[in-house]
């Protein structure tokens, strides 16, 4: 970080209050932050959607150039043209749980696929303007010749369909707007840029 870049020490939290506590949490902040001219700004209020960290996995068959995506209903997309979203396998991290363990657990639960190797792609914040969520993306190799069907935990109301399609076709769905789920878009575009590395690593 450069000497003139602002950081966490340039924010003063005067008050923080939990407005709602359910499966997720909403907090309200009364805070001040430094401006780029060096002065401290006036107090402002902001609401934040507090979420546990999440993990996603893009599953890739290096032999066939196919990817595994899942399709499920998402209430956040209820007013979108496609409430059933195409996504990468993903799940929330339980306290004390390793990220790799989440990746393997969710892949089995949501797609019925067992994975062993994992490569971390990156960590990002999907919506830092109003949420503290951090999403860690992995890519994993798997034989997708028998992948398919409907999966998920019935007790959690999950009804998840596995979709296997070529990477080129998946990228076309991104271009057309059919895939508009941010982690899925990022994962597919990353794979397109790094396919040579991934194929070389997992084709040995």
Q: Which residues are catalytic?
A: 156
| DSSP helix/strand/coil, 21 | strand
- The number of C-alpha atoms within 13 Å of 44 and in the hemisphere containing its C-beta is 10
Sign of the Cα torsion 139, 144, 146, 147 reads: positive
Measured CA to CA in angstroms, residue 124 lies from 6, 26, 42 at distances of 19, 20, 29
The alpha helices in the chain, defined as continuous H runs, are 99-111, 167-176, 182-202
| Distance of alpha carbon 35 from alpha carbon 74, whole angstroms | 38
According to DSSP, the residues that pair with 198 across neighbouring strands are none
| Distance of alpha carbon 152 from alpha carbon 68, whole angstroms | 15
The alpha helices in 40-181, defined as continuous H runs, are 99-111, 167-176
């Amino acid at each position: 970080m450069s000497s003139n870049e602002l950081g966490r020490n340039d924010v003063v939290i005067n008050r923080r209050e939990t407005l709602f506590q359910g499966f997720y949490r909403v907090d309200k902040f009364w805070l001040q932050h430094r401006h780029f001219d060096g002065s401290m700004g006036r107090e402002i209020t902001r609401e934040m959607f507090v979420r546990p960290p999440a993990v996603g996995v893009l599953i890739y068959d290096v032999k066939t150039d196919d990817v595994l995506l899942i399709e499920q209903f998402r209430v956040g997309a209820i007013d979108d043209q496609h409430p059933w979203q195409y996504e990468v396998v993903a799940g929330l991290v339980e306290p004390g749980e390793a990220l790799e363990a989440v990746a393997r657990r969710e892949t089995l639960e949501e797609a019925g696929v067992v994975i062993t190797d994992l490569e971390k792609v990156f960590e990002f914040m999907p919506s830092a303007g109003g949420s503290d969520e951090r999403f860690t993306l992995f890519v994993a190799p798997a034989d997708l010749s028998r992948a398919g069907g409907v999966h998920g935990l019935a007790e959690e109301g999950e009804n998840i369909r596995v979709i296997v399609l070529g990477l080129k076709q998946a990228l076309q769905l991104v271009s057309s707007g059919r895939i508009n789920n941010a982690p899925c878009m990022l994962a597919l575009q990353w794979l397109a840029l790094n396919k040579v590395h991934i194929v070389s690593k997992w084709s040995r």
